[in-house]
Amino acid sequence: MVLTHRNVDGIDIVALAGRLVMADVPQVRQRLLAVVEQGQGKLALDLAEVSFMDSSGLSVLVSVFKAARLKNGDVALLRLNPTVRSLIELTRLHQIFAIFDDEAAALARLR
Amino acid sequence: MAMTRTISLAIDSRPECIELLSHALRGLCGLTALPSVEIAEIELAMVEAVNNAVEHAYRGEPGHRVVVELHLSPGHLGLAVRDRGEPMDPGQLAGSTETLKPDRADPATWHPRGRGLAIIRSCMDSVEYQARNGVNVLAMSRKLDRTGPGSGS
């Protein structure tokens, strides 16, 4: 799993690429929690290149969301492919995550 | 005459080995006429079941065997995931029909875990669990709406 991190006006944008499954979870969780800890807790997760995710991947998203909310921040999910979107909706996590197809809209939400 | 064809795949109980099963399953599902979105659902169900074996039955300990059996017959796909680890409480499967209901306004509902069995149930038509003589088996099946060129007919 490849993570690419940039910061735009205090908002962290992390793009993930590959499969977010149990084997990748410890590393991805640690890196995303570090981003939240070191930043303002405002994180846009670009999942356009995540081809597959399982429930352990979802656990990372929820853990990072909880960490961000503890800092009065938020996590927006960006550019979900149909497979990942289906999983998010199946597990009703769209009830807690703001989901966007457009980065500018996600950044506007997080500001 | 229609035949059921079966293949068994075994991995060591390490998370990094699960991807091997994913690749194999996708290739085998290519023998059916299943669209890619349905193959992804079957893959997800299998991955969740194997995750459970690795993480819960074997408590994350490597060096144990997880076996996946795939049964292909016309109009039907079956999967069985076997381990010899700690058995699951059968009540967990029964209770998995109740999907977690996260509420953005209620932090008590932000559960990181506990979605695997509900995902399996939603991806497959039937799911059964049996623990007998030290062997745990999670058996899943799904109807195939279309018959592909290699589905066994």
Does B152 fall in a domain? no
CB of B122 less than 8 A from some CB of A = yes
Q: What is the pLDDT of residue B1?
A: 54
pLDDT at B153: 36
**In the prediction, which pLDDT does B98 show?**
60
- How high is the pLDDT of residue B32? 87
What's residue B97's pLDDT? 60
Residue B153 lies in a domain: no
Is B108 in the A-facing interface, judged by CB distances under 8 Å? no
Q: In whole angstroms, what is the distance from residue A76 CA to residue B26 CA?
A: 31
With respect to residue B128, please indicate whether it lies within any of the assigned structural domains: yes
pLDDT of residue B148: 38
Place of tokens 């076996």: B67
Q: Is B110 near chain A, with CB under 8 Å?
A: yes
pLDDT mean over A91-108: 95
The answer to whether position B47 is within a domain reads yes
Q: How many domains does chain B have?
A: 1
**Contact list, A65 vs chain B (CB under 8 Å):** 110
Asked whether A92 and A58 are in contact (CB, 8 A), the reply is no
Return the closest-CA partner of residue A87 out of A41, A48, A53, A63. A53
Look up the ipTM and state it. 0.92
In A40-69, the residues whose Cβ lies within 8 Å of chain B are: 52, 54-56, 58-60, 62-63, 65-66, 69
Q: Indicate which CATH number applies to the domain containing A65.
A: 3.30.750.24
Q: Which of A66-80, A92-106, B28-42, B43-57 has the lowest mean pLDDT?
A: B28-42
Cross-chain residue pair A55–B107, CB shorter than 8 Å: no
Range of the domain at A33: 2-110
Report the pLDDT value the prediction gives residue B3, as an integer from 0 to 100.
86
Here the tokens at position B66 are 């997880």
Mean pLDDT, chain A, rounded, equals: 96
- Domain of B120: which CATH number? 3.30.565.10
| Residue B3 per-residue DSSP state | -
Task: State the total domains in chain A.
Answer: 1
> What are the residue ranges in chain B where pLDDT is below 50?
146-153
- Residue B151 maps to a domain: no
C-alpha B15/C-alpha A25 separation (Å) is 10
The minimal CB distance from B44 to the residues A54, A65, A93 is found for A54
pLDDT of residue B92: 84
A55–B55 C-beta distance less than 8 A:
no
Task: Give me B105's structure tokens.
Answer: 């306004």
Question: Looking at the domain assignment, is residue B148 inside a domain?
Answer: no
Question: Cβ(A36)–Cβ(A4) under 8 Å?
Answer: no
Residue A22, pLDDT above cutoff 80? yes
The pLDDT of residue B90: 80
Which residues in chain B have their CB less than 8 angstroms from residue A58's CB? 112, 115
Q: How far is A62 from chain B (nearest CA, A)?
A: 5
Name the residue range of residue B25's domain.
Answer: 5-143
Residue to mutate among A32, A53, A56, with most B CBs inside 10 A, is: A56
Residue B149: its pLDDT value, please?
39
Residue A44's DSSP bridge partners are A13, A76
